[in-house]
Amino acid sequence: MTLSGNQKRKMKSAARLYAVQALFQMEHSSQTFDQVRVEFLDHRFGASYDGDEMQEGDMDLFSRVLEDAVNYQAPIDQMTDRALKATWPIARIDPTLRALFRAAGAEFRDMNVPPKVVITEYVDVARAFFPESKEPSFVNAVLDHMAREARPEAF
């Protein structure tokens, strides 16, 4: 089956949302990277909950973002800290935002994805978690700072 460009974009967006959820879950449970990855790939991608079907996600992107966020968590967190105000270190921010910054930070490492695409995608994820609030603007500002540090040549 050949997927349209729009279907591929939706699958990538879903993979990013799932990666944030998986990172959040790992932080709040004793589950390992492998346990969470398998749970999402086997039970969340394309699953139905109360008649609502979950979007099928790009499994490769999900796995890569999750793995890089875990493997490079310390440098990603340090980059996030530099983007935040000194009074708000990453340990003090909302755990959902922390997971989001880790996922986006992992993607800034990928030279094939333009930073502006990463920023737009994760601001959309922030909107999904925080509708009607200021968090998406905050996420946009922090990710812009992180992107300029991680990939200055792209700006």
Whether 54 and 48 have beta carbons less than 8 Å apart is answered as yes
pLDDT tens digits, residue range 74-130?
999 999 999 997 777 788 899 999 999 999 999 999 888 999 999 999 999 999 999
Q: How far apart are CA 40 and CA 22, in angstroms?
A: 7
Architecture of the domain whose range is 5-154: Orthogonal Bundle (1.10)
Range with lowest mean pLDDT among 31-35, 62-66, 82-86, 132-136: 82-86
Q: What are phi and psi of 53, to 5 degrees?
A: -90, 130
For the cut 60, the answer to whether the pLDDT of residue 51 exceeds it is no
Q: How far apart are CA 37 and CA 14, in angstroms?
A: 14
> What is the domain partition of the chain in residue ranges?
5-154
Task: Please provide the distance, in angstroms rounded to a whole number, between the alpha carbons at the two ends of the chain.
Answer: 37
Q: What is the largest CA-CA distance in the chain?
A: 51
Whether 94 and 132 have beta carbons less than 8 Å apart is answered as no
